[in-house]
Amino acid sequence: MEPKPLSFDQTKLSGISDKTLAIHHDKLYQGYVNKTNEIDQKLTELRKSGQYEGNATYSELRALKDAETFARNGVYLHEWYFDGLRPSVDSGQLSVDSQAPELSKALAEKWGTLENGLKYFSACAMAARGWSVLCWDTKAGTLMHYNGDAHNQGGVWGCLPIIVLDVYEHAYFIDFGSDRKAYIEAFWKNFNWTKTEELYLKAKQVKL
């Protein structure tokens, strides 16, 4: 797999600096892409060699299978996160519900009001150790929210991420110190609601 470039000018976000994005996207995200490729290659080689043992206490196969979901989810979650950002000036000061009418309606239906839905998401992000994710549950046919304390922990299979927020300290410590709340406010300021509305409309068509 190839890394996805950022879809915006990384010097233009409000609050989240060029320096943070250079480390976060160019080093950390790129690192997950590299490791995903390395693990894929090692699994292929191991499979072809026939020299593998499926031992659940320790085996090379077990270690690779564990690392596989950590690395690949590390890539995918970061792509959802970065894809959800754009410079705050690009919103033209439009309200959330005018940029994302259907998603706003769905958030309000699920959590009472749009404001409550966003407040709940932000509070969950304060409570997470890695990821806060709003997703479309293809089995239940509704929006759901889940927290992840690691890339391969906390997710529910069958759910398609819609809003993904990275709350690992590397995402904000340079710019906000330990003030995660201020970082979450900056995330919303830089959030690309029009793109996310399109993603939501696509995702909600999937019912399994």
Interacting residues toward Fe ion by CB under 5 A: 166, 168
Structure tokens at 181: 């709340």
The CB-of-171 to Fe ion minimum distance in angstroms stands at: 5
At position 55, the amino acid (one-letter code) is N
Closer by beta carbon to Fe ion, 74 or else 117 = 74
**Residue at shortest CB range from Fe ion:** 166
Task: Using alpha carbons, list the distances in angstroms from residue 7 to 12, 83, 86, 192.
Answer: 12, 7, 8, 11
Closer by beta carbon to Fe ion, 166 or else 197 = 166
Closer by beta carbon to Fe ion, 168 or else 173 = 168
The CB-of-168 to Fe ion minimum distance in angstroms stands at: 5
Rg of the chain (C-alpha set): 18
Task: Using alpha carbons, list the distances in angstroms from residue 80 to 22, 45, 84, 94.
Answer: 17, 30, 6, 22
The CB-of-114 to Fe ion minimum distance in angstroms stands at: 27
User: What is the per-residue DSSP string for 48-76?
Assistant: HH------SSS-HHHHHHHHHHHHHHHHH
Tokens 């509070």 locate to 123
Closer by beta carbon to Fe ion, 21 or else 134 = 21
The CB-of-23 to Fe ion minimum distance in angstroms stands at: 9
- Contact between residue 117 and residue 97 where contact means Cβ atoms under 8 Å apart: no
- Contact between residue 47 and residue 122 where contact means Cβ atoms under 8 Å apart: no
Structure tokens at 14: 């409000």
Residue 42: CB atoms within 10 Å: 16
The CB-of-28 to Fe ion minimum distance in angstroms stands at: 6
Closer by beta carbon to Fe ion, 61 or else 171 = 171
The CB-of-81 to Fe ion minimum distance in angstroms stands at: 7
Backbone angles phi, psi at 31, to 5 degrees: -60, -40
Closer by beta carbon to Fe ion, 83 or else 166 = 166
